Amino acid sequence: MSDRIFGVFGVLLAIGFAIAASLIKESFLSDAVGPKAFPYIIAAVLGLSSAVIALRPDPEPIWPPLGQLIEILAAAVVMILYAQLLPVAGFVIATAFAAAYLSWRLGSSILGACMTGVGTSVGIYVVFHLVLGLSLARGPLGF
């Protein structure tokens, strides 16, 4: 039963995502694909995979124990905080903290998680901002 609820929720979320994507205003300077293509692709993949889950659920799904559910909830909270703090702290700082926390919870030592967070953050910044020239959220330090 829980798989069907999850699948229906995913289908409804995909519909909402597609509706939100349809409201994106296109600039006269957009490329041939346009800004709506990627959100529509995500909505389609989410909708199809959720429909499969709803129509072909596991007979008896195995739920993780309470401790693991709390870990999953904590990771979701970190991702929500990451999205909220991204414009305030900037891409490099927010990504370093989020990646470090998630790496730590996946089993790295604290030092290893911190190194992973900083490495991930700086690596993505170099590739996307410096090499590809994409705009990322600037923080209080200017990067």
- Per-residue pLDDT reduced to its tens digit, 24-34: 887 766 666 67
Give the per-residue pLDDT at 35. Answer: 77
Percent of the chain at pLDDT exceeding 70: 96
pLDDT of amino acid 10: 95
Q: What is the mean pLDDT of the chain?
A: 90
Report pLDDT for 29.
65
**Residues 127-143, mean pLDDT to the nearest whole number:** 84
Q: Give the pLDDT of residue 9.
A: 95
User: Which pLDDT band holds residue 36 (cuts at 50, 70, 90)?
Assistant: confident
Tell me how crowded residue 45 is: count the other CB atoms within 10 A of its CB. Answer: 11
pLDDT of residue 30: 62
Contact between 7 and 52 (Cβ < 8 Å): yes
**Stretch 62-91: mean pLDDT, rounded?**
93
From the list 102, 63, 61, 59, the residue with the least C-alpha distance to 79 is: 102
pLDDT at 86: 92
Degrees, nearest 5: CA angle 16-86-70? 70
